[in-house]
Amino acid sequence: MSGAYRVPMAAPDIRPEDIELVTRALASGTLSGGPYLDQLETAFAAYVGTRHAIGVTNGTSGLHLCVRAAGIADGDEVITSAFSFIASANCVLYERAVPVFVDIDEASLNLDPERIDAAVTDRTRAVLPIHVFGQPCRLDRLQALCDAHGLTLIEDACEAVGAEYGGRKVGAFGRAAVFAFYPNKQMTMGEGAIIVTDDPQWASLIRSLRNQGRGAMGKSAEHEHLGYNYRLDELSAALGLSQLRRLDDLLQRRATVAARYGELLRDVPGVSPLPVPPAPARASCFVYVVRLPPGADRSRVVARLEEKRIPSRTYFAPIHLQPYYRGRFGYREGDLPITERVAASTLALPFHGNMSDDDLACVVAALRFALAPGTA
């Protein structure tokens, strides 16, 4: 039914300059390991404020490489959130370690730092917080906890390019961070992601691991590590470089749409947009998520929105209640009550930076209809 939707769920902002730069990359004849990747990595490191940036295929591979670089292995534990896309926990399992889920803060929807101490054991090696929906975590508190326990902080910033905490970009706090650029993200490469770090040893290792474990000189026949093909191609890098050049405008457009949504939703009883994070934080709008009124039947709301040809998304489903995690670790409903309560009441509405006032009014009117009694 997607072709019949009145408003798309998401839409990348592709301009003629994006197409021109990708076309230049295509015409260059160098489609992998070329100058556009180098330029993107240099520019992105400068944007975030880190010494190094490494382009990779996607956010999942980026998180995997960070876990690998941290030396996390069999039986080690990584504290993280179950209110996320499943890749942020799967990347721990790839190295035969164990994700330890801690409940979230209900206001920010992020990992609650006050619950971490109780989850630390002698097997804990890292904390992997997720800046959910572009809402920055309490990075000062998380960093202090990691320092106190000798743990590695790895930021999952896949949804949060441009977000800030304490006047610094997210991604500049942990040992490393990962940003991802799927088509619904603030900027896009189609797929693709970038790892940032200040650690030169991590940067060197990650560059090797993404390139089949080849050494620093990149000799095709010399493999120093068990690596992967996680390389970012030149076409994706060119698109990313073009998008990065106007990222501030892309972020501002999304912020304007989000603010307008907030104004229109004030008159919809019981619907609560995500709160604006208090200083010293600044969010970056990835998706537009609302909390539905207590007792609302979310499945019914989704179905009624479909009647009005408006798409929506019910994410995130708690990772610990996914079938694989239930079967492997024995998780049950009630293990993470805040995560489960939030996950059952959140709904993502159509969102992108070029939505018109008519688009927004159409979505909000459909949501009002969907929540109204007697529309069964």
Pairing relation of β-strands 176-180 and 152-156?
A: parallel
- pLDDT classification of 376: cutoffs 50, 70, 90: very low
The residue among 315, 324, 46, 317 whose CA lies nearest residue 169 is 46
* Cβ pair 289, 348 in contact under 8 A: yes
d(CA 241, CA 36): 7
* Cβ pair 113, 138 in contact under 8 A: yes
Name the helix (H) or strand (E) containing 146: helix 139-149
Model confidence at 76: pLDDT above 60: yes
pLDDT in tens, 132-143: 999 999 999 999
203 forms beta bridges with none
Q: Which residues are catalytically annotated?
A: 185
pLDDT of residue 123: 98
pLDDT in tens, 226-269: 999 999 999 999 999 999 999 999 999 999 999 999 999 999 99
- pLDDT classification of 3: cutoffs 50, 70, 90: low
98 forms beta bridges with 77
pLDDT of residue 280: 79
* Cβ pair 281, 164 in contact under 8 A: yes
Domain ranges of the chain: 16-245, 247-371
Model confidence at 64: pLDDT above 50: yes
Q: Rounded to 5 degrees, what are φ and ψ at 139?
A: -70, -30
- For domain 247-371, say whether CATH 3.90.1150.10 is its number: yes
d(CA 77, CA 54): 25
Task: Return the number of other C-beta atoms located less than 10 Å from residue 354's C-beta.
Answer: 12
Query: What CATH number does the domain located at 16-245 have?
Result: 3.40.640.10
